[in-house]
């Protein structure tokens, strides 16, 4: 019986050893697959690290460009503010000039209107004086015409000898 137990234990030990060898062989195959996959992953990780490094450099370069753009944008904002201030000053001065021009124009228009009224008054007075002078001249002409006519009558009477006087001589 001892032999039987030894044989069974030995068979079990051989079965366990075969099973253990089979499992170790399977584990070694799996380890080989994992090592191959790991090497592929290491290559992929190296490529990924290289790509990340390149992207990091690109982002740093872009960051520098973005910083330069921000500085340029700030400078443009300042220039725009200065231009806006200058424009406001010019608009204010232009408004002042327009108000001054309006006051000058209104004053000149008032002076022109006053001059026009004065000229109209003088013209009206001149017209009245001219009408009066014309009336006086017409009156004088008609008086002169009457006097001329009277003189002509007198001259005619003087030129025509009286019929009675020539007989007496």
Chain position carrying tokens 């068979």: 11
- Stated pTM of the model: 0.40
List C-alpha distances in Å: 113 to 16, 43, 102, 116, 126: 133, 100, 16, 5, 19
> Structure tokens of 57?
């450099």
Per-residue pLDDT of the chain (169 residues; tens, 9 = 90+): 788 888 888 888 999 999 999 999 999 999 999 888 888 888 888 888 888 888 887 777 777 878 888 899 999 999 999 999 999 999 999 999 999 999 999 999 999 999 999 999 999 999 999 999 999 999 999 999 999 999 888 888 877 766 665 555 4
Q: Which residues of 86-122 are buried (b: 16+ CB within 10 A; e: fewer)?
A: eeeeeeeeeeeeeeeeeeeeeeeeeeeeeeeeeeeee
The Cα–Cα gap between 61 and 54 comes to 10
> Structure tokens of 167?
């007989």
Q: How many helices (H) and strands (E) does the chain have?
A: 2, 0
Q: What is the DSSP letter of 160?
A: S
């Amino acid at each position: 019986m001892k032999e039987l137990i030894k044989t069974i234990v030995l068979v079990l030990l051989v079965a366990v050893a075969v099973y253990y060898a089979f499992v170790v062989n399977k584990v070694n195959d799996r380890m080989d697959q994992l090592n191959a996959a790991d090497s592929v992953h290491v290559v992929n990780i190296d490529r990924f690290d290289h790509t990340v490094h390149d992207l990091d450099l690109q982002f740093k370069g872009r960051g520098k460009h973005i910083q330069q753009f921000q500085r340029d944008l700030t400078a443009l904002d300042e220039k725009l503010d200065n231009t806006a201030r200058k424009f406001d000053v010019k608009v204010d001065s232009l408004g002042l000039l327009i108000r001054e021009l309006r006051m000058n124009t209104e004053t000149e228009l008032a002076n022109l209107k006053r001059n026009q009224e004065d000229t109209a008054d003088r013209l009206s007075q001149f017209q009245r004086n001219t009408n009066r002078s014309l009336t006086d001249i017409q009156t004088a002409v008609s008086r002169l015409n009457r006097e001329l006519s009277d003189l002509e009558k007198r001259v005619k009477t003087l030129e025509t000898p009286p019929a009675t006087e020539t007989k007496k001589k």
